[in-house]
Amino acid sequence: MAAPQPSIGDWYRLKEGSALFEVVAYDDDDGTIEIQYFDGTVEEMDIEDWEAQWDDGALESAEPPEDWSGSVDVESEEGLRSDSSDSERDLRASGLEGIDLFD
């Protein structure tokens, strides 16, 4: 079976070690694929390596993880909530009065 052309956003798994990764970039001119593992590690792979690993059965399509936040730096909704002391502060930017634009 021919190796599928990697598409940005598609998830795959390396059978050895079950490492789950997402294709994050594909450069047809250079023949490279940039992949990001679930833990956030980014690597580059040659299209020849991709095809060889697919042909050897070392690479397979996979479903995206339910909790995809492992690969990106995203806070949980609980981490985004502010407590009452934060809500009492005025977080608006100050006005621009006093700035001379023609200095």
- The residue extents of the domains of the chain are 1-64
Pinpoint the alpha helices (H) of 1-103: 47-56, 77-80, 84-88
**pTM for the structure as a whole:** 0.62
Pick the CATH number of 1-64 from 2.60.40.10, 3.40.50.1980, 3.40.50.720, 2.30.30.30: 2.30.30.30
Query: For residue 27, what pLDDT is reported?
Result: 93
Query: For residue 93, what pLDDT is reported?
Result: 59
Q: How many C-beta atoms surround the C-beta of residue 33 within 10 A? A: 22
Low-confidence ranges of the chain (pLDDT < 50): 74-76, 79-80, 84, 87
Question: From residue 6, how far is each of 28, 39, 54 by CA, in Å?
Answer: 10, 20, 11
Provide the β-strand partners of residue 43: 35
